[in-house]
Amino acid sequence: MLGVLEGFATIAIVVAVGWLLAHLRLLDESAQNNLSRLAFYVASPALLLQVMQRTPLSAVLSRNLVTSLVAFAATVTIYLLLARSRGAAAPLGSRLIGSLSAAYVNAGNLGIPIALYVLGDVAWVAPTLLMQLLIITPVYMALFDSDARGERPTVLRSIRRMFSNPITIGALAGLLISLLDVTLPRVIGGSIDLLGNMAVPAMLVAFGISLRRGPRPAAGRAARHVWTIVALKTLVMPAIALGFGLLIGMRGAPLFAVVVTAALPTAQNIFTYAVRYRREVNLARDAIFVTTFVSVPVILLIAAGFHLAGV
């Protein structure tokens, strides 16, 4: 259980640094935007290339991958149905940020340490990481780009946007390097690693700035919306993963891994996307902030339940 707390504490400290820099007026909203752009256009693509080229496909092609995809799709569907029942349809960009906030897990900078300390092997989080990078992210990036340009999403436009987005390009380049078993020259590989290492700190510091400079999280008229997303992310999504996993015969450590992964909080990437496309920035920020705190006791309870079951 110490590993869970260590993973969350590491993130909290870096976010606090961003908050303090904003409080001291050393950084402001322009710095937040610049850090987010740096993460989106440079650091995140390098990080995704770095992760994908080092992830063996044999570790991800499993029932864990299918269960993660089903849990994501089901949670997004529930969110969209709830959003539609509220009345007037929200703009596409708002629905995209809302659905990602409800179902896109922090499988990278938080999932990896939790997989190592709680599950005992980083490979357990690889299926979800691959699913998000190579399936979910390209589709959503294409939709975001169409929305930003005021275009109606079509299959051809979406495919074109997929292969012109830096996030997608980074993930696909890493996968291609892995499949072809290419060894990059040390100077190139070292440069990519160095750039990729900026991604998480840049996102977390930008997030900390927004907490200090923006409105209080989960307050006002948006509070109900935020708490709906929190409930979907931290309770509904792991419950779906558990139910579907049992349905297809998963047991023991594989089932434990997929349920814990589904209970992870909303990824910081969503805040970066919200800033980049200027859609629901405060909603993404609030969802990340609240789910990060709520997911701690949820994951601890899941771990305790599986421990009592002998896993």
Q: Domain limits at 241?
A: 2-308
Q: Which CATH number characterizes residue 71's domain?
A: 1.20.1530.20
Q: What's residue 33's pLDDT?
A: 85
**For residue 102, what are the contacts with CB-CB under 8 A and spacing of at least 6?**
75, 76, 78, 79, 228, 229, 232, 233, 237, 266, 287
Residue 292 has pLDDT above 60, yes or no: yes
For 16-31, the pLDDT digits (tens) are 999 999 999 999 889 9
Burial letters 267-283, b for 16+ CB under 10 A, else e: bbbbbbbbbbbebbbbb
Number of independent structural domains in the chain: 1
Higher pLDDT, 54 or 60: 54
Residue 65 has pLDDT above 60, yes or no: yes
Torsion of CA 115, 117, 118, 124, to 10 degrees: 20
> Which of 71-80, 83-92, 103-112, 186-195 is predicted most confidently?
71-80
